[in-house]
Chains A and B, each alone.
Chain A
Amino acid sequence: QVTLKESGPGMLQPSKTLSLTCSFSGFSLSTSGMVVSWIRQPSGKSLEWLAAIDWDGDKYYNPSLKSRLTVSKDTSNTQVFLKITSVDIADTATYYCARSCYSDFDYWGQGVMVTVSS
């Protein structure tokens, strides 16, 4: 049974660094073709793909945010992390992690709401 769950601070102040964790089970990120992505969704709006890390440790970023994003994974391949530096109000959103195996995005976490506010 594949599950993913995001965790984060809930609220943080502008200019701070947002750190998110995606904890997953039921699959191995070391399996060829496996990718974990981060996607966000401001309230009432559509989805935005942010970053991804694949089974080989290769990292992919949305160019619009690339300078602020860092994606990584732990050595046990059960968690993926995302850091976003210099957050502002526009980063307020629900953040999801999702698994894909050759681009299908078949499993999503429940999402974690992040509010940027002073």
Chain B
Amino acid sequence: DVVLTQTPPTLSATIGQSVSISCRSSQSLLDSDGDTYLNWLLQRPGQSPQLLIYSVSNLESGVPNRFSGSGSETDFTLKISGVEAEDLGVYYCMQATHAPYTFGAGTKLELK
């Protein structure tokens, strides 16, 4: 199975601060169809996960543009440009290139 390693496990930020989360894959997530199926999800406390970014860098409809994704092959980054209070929760990367699909362990974003 593909292992996704997220760092840091916990992130403390102030409102307005920009932060980044890293997700490294144990193998390339570039699919034979040319796409890279690496998604970013946010799970707020007591809620279901919600999609933020799909296929590395595509912003899901309705998600604020302070969220951005980048990367390729095995190294990916989620950036939040100016944290807001509603951004607090656990961020997960997930890959849907190789079966079985897998998730990272999560990065908890807290207020400093």
Contacts and interface: CB of A to CB of B under 8 A. Distances in A.
A64 B94 contact: no
A64 B100 contact: yes
Interface residues of A, number: 22
Contact of A100 (B1, B96, B105): B96
B41 interface: yes
Interface residues of B, number: 23
B54 A49 contact: no
B48 A103 contact: no
A106 B51 contact: yes
B103 A48 contact: yes
Interface of B: 1, 37, 39, 41, 48-51, 54-55, 60, 92, 94, 96-97, 99-106
Interface of A: 37, 46-49, 60-64, 96, 98, 100, 103-111
